[in-house]
Every structure is written in structure tokens, then in C-alpha cells.
Amino acid sequence: MAITAALVKELRERTGAGMMECKKALVETDGDIDAAIEHMRKSGLAKADKKAGRTAAEGLMIIKTSADGKTAAIVEINSETDFVAKADDFIAFANAIGDRVLASKPADLEALMAMPLQDGGASVEDARKALIAKLGENMSVRRFALLQSPGLVASYMHGSRIGVLIDIEGGDENLGKDLAMHIAASRPVCVSEDNVDPALIAKEREIFSAQAAESGKPADIIEKMVDGRINKFLKEITLLGQPFVKDPDQTVAKLLKAAGAKVNRFARYEVGEGIEKRTENFADEVMAQVKGG
């Protein structure tokens, strides 16, 4: 059967794939569009599996908030390059996932990936694999957080790479946004000292003790030095202990007290944090391509 331009155009419109890929699929299925779509889906899944081992440390953050402001979702979706992270298809995929998390409140990432991306459509996982086949890069839905508050969930986005949600009671939306911006800039680990992992404190105490011991001072002085270092450390990593970025003369704890507000919890995500990126020498990469050719 002759593969006409009209046939290729129809397949492109139905799949969103490239012209050459559509033509190839039609040739292999003798012009049967439905068979070509099935063939492309199978081929796409195979391509996605092959790309699964490639590092995806770029991407973007998506935040979605309910109409009443009491529930919000933050999702990190990764790609291999910043170029793909700016593609319309990738952005639409990320937004659809944010909408799904907010609407369906999945228990965990596994549950999210099994849900339909859009009502009645393919699962998030199948949609991810199809997009990998289309855009040619590995992609992952890395993590999400869903915050619900009796007060409000404020948010802040720094570009598309850092996102913050904060569950706050009392105060107002402006205070919530200011605190979300503070969290984006100051990177607190948790809300208060009560939330700090005792193992982390023990580890820091061990390090500070070893450093102080080199001073040669008496044991009781060393103990006071270590206690002082621990107190300073706790103020640095807790939201309530940090100086407020807009007014460093007061801590966040004092700011909240003056406003009659409290923070229950927060989520701060930064694209690619904690992912080990592979670095390659450009000259070596070119040489590898030459040798491969």
C-alpha cells in the first residue's frame, strides 16, 4: 500500500511522533494506522526501557493548590537536560501529574504511577514511557508531597527549580509566602529542635568534641564549648531558630509569636538535589563519538 503524506499526517496528529517515525511505522504495518499506533507504542516502551539507566537530574518543580488554599501538592519531575525540561510536552506532563496528585491524593509514588494521568487515559507510568520515546530522554517522576492544613498551605516557587509548601495556622497569606521564601533561601532541615533526628545531633556532637579536644583545654570547658556549638547548629538548621531573611534582627520564632501563628510542617524541594550527576570531559566525549563512528 502506498504511504501517502495524508496518512503520515494523520498518524502524526494521533500520536504526536515525528514524521520519519510515523512513516517508518506505516511502512512496517502496510499503511494500517491502528497497527502502526500499536507498533509505535511497543517500540516506545522498548526505547524507554533502554533509556532507564541514564541519569535524569534536570527537570522542574510543579505546585498545585486547592481553591480554598488548605491543600497543596508539590511534585518533582526530572529529565536529562534543561532543554527537554523547557519543552511544552514535558511541562504539560508535569502539570498533569501535579493536578493528579492534588485531585487523587495518592498514598505514595507507586500508587501515583499506577493512576491514570488524566481521567480515562493511560497511567502516569505509561504516559512517562511514551514521552520518553517521543522526546528521546530518560525522565522520572521523582517525588511528591501533599500538605493539608486547618489554616492554609502557602507556597513559593523560585523559577521552576525550587519549590516550597508550608502548612501554617494563624497569620495571613502574606506571612505564609514570606516564610516560604525564607525556607527556599535558608534551607532549614525541620521546623523546631524537637524535630531534629537525635542521631544527627549525636554525630555533630562527636565531631565538635573531637575538634574542641585539640584545643587542650580542661574537660569542663570543652563540654561547654561543645554545648555552645550544638546550640548554634540547632538554630542554623531549624526554621524557628533561624534569623528571618527579611529582618535578621528577629528569629522566625519571634516573627510567628508576634503574628499569633504557628508552622506545622513544610516541604522544600530543589530539582536534582541528592542526584549524583555524571560529569564527562567534552574532548573525551567527542573522541568517543569519533571512535564509535
Q: Where are the domains positioned within the chain?
A: 5-51, 54-148
**Which of the residue ranges 1-10, 50-59, 213-222 would you say has the lowest mean pLDDT?**
50-59
Q: Could you say which DSSP state residue 194 is in?
A: G
Higher pLDDT, 283 or 238: 238
Selection from 185, 164, 179, 152 nearest residue 240 by Cα: 179
190, three cell numbers:
525541620
Cell matching residue 171: 497569620
CA atoms within 13 A on the CB side of 44: 24
pLDDT of residue 275: 73
Return the percentage of the chain with pLDDT > 70, whole number. Answer: 86
Among left, alpha and beta (phi > 0; psi -120 to 50; other), residue 94 is alpha
DSSP 8-state class, residue 273? T
How many Å apart are CA 133 and CA 44, to the nearest integer?
5
**C-alpha angle 234-240-243 in degrees, rounded to nearest 5:** 85
Q: pLDDT for 168-219, tens place per residue? A: 999 899 999 999 999 999 999 999 999 999 998 888 888 888 888 777 778 7
Which of 78-87, 188-197, 260-269 is the least confident region? 78-87
How far is Cα 293 from Cα 287, in angstroms, rounded to an integer? Answer: 10
Q: What percentage of the chain carries pLDDT values higher than 90?
A: 53
With a cut of 50, say whether residue 46 has pLDDT above it.
Answer: no
3-class DSSP assignment, residue 280 = coil
pLDDT of 289 strictly over 80: no
pTM: 0.74
Predicted local confidence at residue 170, as pLDDT: 94
Strand extents, DSSP E, the chain: 58-65, 71-79, 139-148, 152-158, 162-169, 243-244, 247-251, 262-270
Please, are residues 257 and 251 in contact by the beta-carbon 8 Å criterion? no
* Cβ atoms of residues 26 and 33 within 8 Å: yes
* Residue 188 pLDDT: 96
Q: What pLDDT score was predicted for residue 113?
A: 95
Which tens digit of pLDDT belongs to each residue from 6-42?
888 887 776 666 677 778 888 888 888 888 877 766 6
CA distance 85 to 205: 42
Position 45 confidence tier, pLDDT thresholds 50, 70, 90: very low
In this structure, whether the domain defined by 54-148 belongs to CATH 3.30.479.20 is answered with yes
What is the mean predicted confidence (pLDDT) over 74-86?
91
Give per-residue pLDDT as tens, 83-126.
889 999 999 999 999 999 999 999 999 999 999 999 988 999 99
More confident residue, 65 or 44: 65
CB 80 within 8 A of CB 56: yes
Task: Cell 504516559: give the residue.
Answer: 127
Q: Is the pLDDT of residue 281 over 70?
A: no
More confident: 102 or 273: 102
What is the arithmetic mean of pLDDT over 58-74? 96
Under CATH, which architecture does the 5-51 domain have?
Orthogonal Bundle (1.10)
**β-strands 243-244, 139-148: how paired?**
unpaired
Model pLDDT for residues 113-167, shown as the tens digit of each residue: 999 999 988 999 999 988 888 888 889 999 999 999 999 999 999 998 999 999 9
